[in-house]
Chain A
Amino acid sequence: MEREPRTDVAPGRLSPEAYAAGFSDLHPGFEPNAARVEAERCLFCYDAPCATACPTSIDIPLFIREIAKGQPKAAAKTILDANIMGAMCARVCPTETLCEEVCVRHFSDGAPVKIGQLQRYATDALFDAGAQPFTRAEATGRRIAVVGAGPAGLACAHALARAGHEVTIFEAREKPGGLNEYGIAAYKAAGGIAQREVDFILSLGGIVLKTGVALGRDFYLETLRAEYDAVFLGLGLGAVNALGLDREEGAEDAIDYIAALRQAEDLSALPVGRRVVVVGGGMTAVDVAVQAKRLGADEVTIVYRRGEKEMGASGYEQELALTEGVAIRHYARPVAVESGRAIFERTQIVDGRLAGSGETFDIPCDQLFKAIGQALDPSGVETIDLLGGRIKVDDERRTSIPNVWAGGDCVHDGEDLTVVAVEDGKRAAASIIAALVGPGRFGT
């Protein structure tokens, strides 16, 4: 997009050291002694609430005890058995609203066991050792197509390959990993963890990955259904919501910008505005705001149309933004993006509904990001029933079309989180396995 020179959007605002510092690990991993001390805080609860709160039902007390007793690789196996993306989830899960929120240590000590950090410690130990704890069951001769190499697709493929099936993954992008590779904030996925994890998953064997091929463009659902015993769709959300303004040209898509950032070889080549405004209230808004700040933006403001409580970003994420020096303004929506400024209208809740107040204000702005959510791109899946704009599935992740399963962000059910996508892939795989070979045979 051609930018007008009136605004100050420039690369190379920082020293090489500052780039390196800003995009290294948000929380460095535990040293062994810190891990042991933290692991010992776990009470080994029965019916542990943390495990219940984990969307993938990781046996948290067990893996923490394995760390405490000095066997982090055994802990990693316990984790990966339930969640093959345990390494990534350890870094990106909003633990403060999942497992750690319900840890009983809150009530005895005022602070939960740092489950996410311990999970990372264990999975790092396994990856560092280059160990592969899983083997494949006897070959079944069944072939399954998985579309999309994001968390949902990869989790599904891994479980199917473990059960002895042959899996082919079709991925539109050049690299596998989905949003782990293109979307997650850089400081949460430092050290190339997304690709290390994909390599680990594929190293099991039985999974063929084809990249650069898109459903609906290069191949079609009906052909897959004819050629494979089952199909799993893990498409994510390809389309971006529009702001719906008259003049929207100045607005950049946060997801595209983050993808460019994640793929940049040299962060100092990436232009960033001096004064940045982000429209939205979710995780993406916080991520683009914090990363813009770390790229050297002077002022970054998140503007959200509702209040603090309604924000999709967790309290922890909001706090992260604030400590980074990002300003958050509530109850305002954009009406126009102009040269050097963005114009907002204050909003209010009238009879429970959001309404404009007519009163407007300006925020100086060189670069405006929209982070107001994504939507399913329906191309290639036009024949499937949708619900609320996403693919409709049942509990087992079966779609309205026989032999087609779906999971992750592209389905109507569940939060848009990496861990939820993994669980969907896992559940669909169990359902596919049961459908193909009967329940129980390869179920474990």
Chain B
Amino acid sequence: MADLRTTFAGIRSPNPFWLASAPPTDKAYNVVRAFKEGWGGVVWKTLGEDPPVMNVSGPRYGALHSADRRVIGFNNIELITDRPLQLNLDEIKQVKRDWPDRAIVVSLMVPCEEQSWIAILKRVEETGADGVELNLGCPHGMSERGMGSAVGQVPDYVEMVTRWCKQHTRMPVIVKLTPNVADIRPPAMAAARAGADAISLINTINSIIGVDLDMMAPLPHTRGVGTHGGYCGPAVKPISLNMVAEIARTPETAHVPLSGIGGIEGWRDAAEYIALGCGNVQVCTAAMIYGFKVVKEMISGLSEWMDAKGYATIDDFSGRAIPKVTDWRHLDLGYAVKARIDQSLCIKCGRCHVACEDVSHQAITREVNGVRHYEVIDEECVGCNLCASLCPVENCIEMVPLAVGDVDVRTGRTIIEEPLPWDRHPANPMARVAAE
């Protein structure tokens, strides 16, 4: 049996699955229910200064649905906790006492003044919590008041706030980044420079989830008007994975432990984050949509997979995929794949044909001998993966690599051993052949 225990930024937890700072971790009642289901840790819903903020009493959530009405994207205009600070602190203390083996990290957001941070850090320390997470990412509401993403978007502020916290507490400091930036590396480097014990990402992405065409107003709306909210759920995972990978492969930040957040719904999502360098993961939307029990599948699925792969601990595979993330210019242009359709699986929907015909390379037949039949024409196939992506039958279309020595019948080129990236490619007028 795989050992799922982790020590992240010095904080121990029985498994790498934490609940992200959000409604699931809003109060003791929820957190206790979550621990009973098996969550390894929580980041308590973000605390702020008293008096507590007020939320809208109109709808605060909205969803993007898939065809079968699964929630694939989720958005909210909720603020940080709207409960008094002391009430939260008392509950944190009690829960930590009752559940000593679970991680409890407290998310914080106060005005960008050193005194404010000093004050709240003191009070959190008294709860016995395992660490703090700086919410520098909330993109709506709080950002209008100069907090959240208004701080996270400015690397100097990130560095300043992180330094204050590192200076005024012995608790591990996790810096939670906003994805609402052109490049995730500068704020990550700022956190690293200031000595952050870890970085977590992502917080939500600025979004309008939809438009009410009867009201002619954005969704969700309050009294007929709406505002942008924060986007999360499965749809944001690719964005977050890229940001995680960028930080993990940047020398200045590569050493900082990462907590991966965004669209994690099952064990596989978590494994992907960990493979790209995360030490643990955090989940919000999946718990909000399906309840806390989802963690049971995450735990069993991850350990099954680790057993099958022979990974004994999370560290055994954490970061294994990082060396494979590179820049486009390093990709081997001499390599080639061809789509191949498994006729025994093909259900003959014809969609690969029309897609390749309409928008790609006219490389899939429509009929053969007058019968509907789909076969790849190697002379035309550029190996783009469009057909395999849209085929409704899993594994029906495979992208098969040509072996060294094979001739690509589309280009007439023979596949060679030596990689041929753009900067050495004969078609590149600026090829720096000598440089290598």
- The distance from the CB of B168 to the nearest CB of chain A, in whole angstroms, is 54
Q: Restricting to B328-377, which residues have a CB under 8 Å from any CB of A? A: 347-351, 353-354, 366, 372
Residues B67 and A45 in contact, CB atoms below 8 Å apart: no
Stretch of A46-54, A86-94, A145-153 at the chain-chain interface: A46-54
Q: Restricting to A158-196, which residues have a CB under 8 Å from any CB of B? A: none
Q: In the docked arrangement, what's the CA distance between A47 and B358, Å?
A: 14
Q: In the docked arrangement, what's the CA distance between A109 and B365, Å?
A: 24
Residues B351 and A45 in contact, CB atoms below 8 Å apart: yes
Residues B348 and A107 in contact, CB atoms below 8 Å apart: yes
Task: Indicate if B325 sits at the interface (CB-CB under 8 A).
Answer: no
Task: Indicate if A37 sits at the interface (CB-CB under 8 A).
Answer: yes
- CB neighbours (8 Å) of A68 from chain B are 67
- CB neighbours (8 Å) of B393 from chain A are 108
Residues A107 and B347 in contact, CB atoms below 8 Å apart: yes
Nearest CB in chain B to that of A44: its residue: B351
- CB neighbours (8 Å) of A44 from chain B are 351
Taken residue by residue from 27 to 67, chain A's Cβ proximity to chain B (1 for < 8 Å, 0 otherwise) reads as 00000000001001001111111000000000000000000
Task: Indicate if B327 sits at the interface (CB-CB under 8 A).
Answer: no
Residues B68 and A46 in contact, CB atoms below 8 Å apart: no
Q: In the docked arrangement, what's the CA distance between A46 and B367, Å?
A: 12
- CB neighbours (8 Å) of B401 from chain A are none
- Given the known inter-chain contacts A46-B353, A47-B366, please indicate yes or no for A104 contacting B67, CB distance below 8 A: no
- The distance from the CB of B352 to the nearest CB of chain A, in whole angstroms, is 9
Residues A47 and B392 in contact, CB atoms below 8 Å apart: no
Q: In the docked arrangement, what's the CA distance between A50 and B389, Å?
A: 24
Q: Restricting to B225-278, which residues have a CB under 8 Å from any CB of A? A: none
Q: In the docked arrangement, what's the CA distance between A43 and B355, Å?
A: 13
- CB neighbours (8 Å) of B351 from chain A are 43-46
Q: Is the interface of B mostly helix, strand, loop or mixed?
A: loop
- CB neighbours (8 Å) of B354 from chain A are 46
Nearest CB in chain B to that of A104: its residue: B347
Q: In the docked arrangement, what's the CA distance between A108 and B393, Å?
A: 7
Q: How large is the interface on A (under 10, 10 to 19, 20 to 34, 35 or more residues)?
A: 10 to 19
Residues B68 and A47 in contact, CB atoms below 8 Å apart: no
Residues B347 and A108 in contact, CB atoms below 8 Å apart: yes
- CB neighbours (8 Å) of B350 from chain A are 45-48
Residues A45 and B349 in contact, CB atoms below 8 Å apart: yes
Nearest CB in chain B to that of A43: its residue: B349
- The distance from the CB of B364 to the nearest CB of chain A, in whole angstroms, is 10
Q: In the docked arrangement, what's the CA distance between A108 and B68, Å?
A: 17
Residues A104 and B348 in contact, CB atoms below 8 Å apart: yes
User: Which of A37, A43, A49 is within 8 Å of B68, CB to CB?
Assistant: A37
- CB neighbours (8 Å) of B67 from chain A are 40, 68
Q: Restricting to B102-131, which residues have a CB under 8 Å from any CB of A? A: none
Q: Restricting to A98-141, which residues have a CB under 8 Å from any CB of B? A: 104-105, 107-108
- The distance from the CB of B98 to the nearest CB of chain A, in whole angstroms, is 43
- CB neighbours (8 Å) of B349 from chain A are 43, 45-46, 104
- The distance from the CB of B221 to the nearest CB of chain A, in whole angstroms, is 20
Nearest CB in chain A to that of B350: its residue: A46
- The distance from the CB of B134 to the nearest CB of chain A, in whole angstroms, is 43
Nearest CB in chain A to that of B351: its residue: A46
Taken residue by residue from 56 to 83, chain A's Cβ proximity to chain B (1 for < 8 Å, 0 otherwise) reads as 0000000000001000000000000000
Most B CB within 10 A of own CB, among A45, A49, A105: A45
- CB neighbours (8 Å) of B347 from chain A are 104-105, 107-108
Q: In the docked arrangement, what's the CA distance between A104 and B393, Å?
A: 11
- The distance from the CB of A61 to the nearest CB of chain B, in whole angstroms, is 10
- CB neighbours (8 Å) of A45 from chain B are 348-351
Nearest CB in chain A to that of B372: its residue: A47
Nearest CB in chain B to that of A47: its residue: B350
Residues A40 and B348 in contact, CB atoms below 8 Å apart: no
Nearest CB in chain A to that of B353: its residue: A46
Residues B348 and A49 in contact, CB atoms below 8 Å apart: yes
Q: In the docked arrangement, what's the CA distance between A40 and B392, Å?
A: 13
- CB neighbours (8 Å) of A107 from chain B are 347-348
Q: In the docked arrangement, what's the CA distance between A37 and B351, Å?
A: 21
Residues B392 and A49 in contact, CB atoms below 8 Å apart: no
- Given the known inter-chain contacts A44-B351, A48-B350, A68-B67, please indicate yes or no for A108 contacting B372, CB distance below 8 A: no
- CB neighbours (8 Å) of A37 from chain B are 68
Taken residue by residue from 25 to 37, chain B's Cβ proximity to chain A (1 for < 8 Å, 0 otherwise) reads as 0000000000000
- The distance from the CB of A382 to the nearest CB of chain B, in whole angstroms, is 42
- CB neighbours (8 Å) of A108 from chain B are 347, 392-393
- Given the known inter-chain contacts A46-B351, A107-B347, A108-B392, please indicate yes or no for A40 contacting B68, CB distance below 8 A: yes
Nearest CB in chain B to that of A37: its residue: B68
Nearest CB in chain B to that of A102: its residue: B348
- CB neighbours (8 Å) of B392 from chain A are 43, 108
Q: In the docked arrangement, what's the CA distance between A133 and B349, Å?
A: 30
Q: In the docked arrangement, what's the CA distance between A80 and B67, Å?
A: 26
Nearest CB in chain A to that of B391: its residue: A43
Q: In the docked arrangement, what's the CA distance between A104 and B374, Å?
A: 14
Q: In the docked arrangement, what's the CA distance between A238 and B333, Å?
A: 74
Q: In the docked arrangement, what's the CA distance between A108 and B394, Å?
A: 10
5 closest residue pairs by CB, A with B: A46-B350, A46-B354, A107-B347, A40-B67, A104-B347
Enumerate 6 A-B pairs (CB-CB under 8 Å) in ascending A order: A45-B348, A46-B353, A47-B372, A48-B350, A68-B67, A108-B347
B residues touching A (Cβ–Cβ < 8 Å)?
67-68, 347-351, 353-354, 366, 372, 392-393
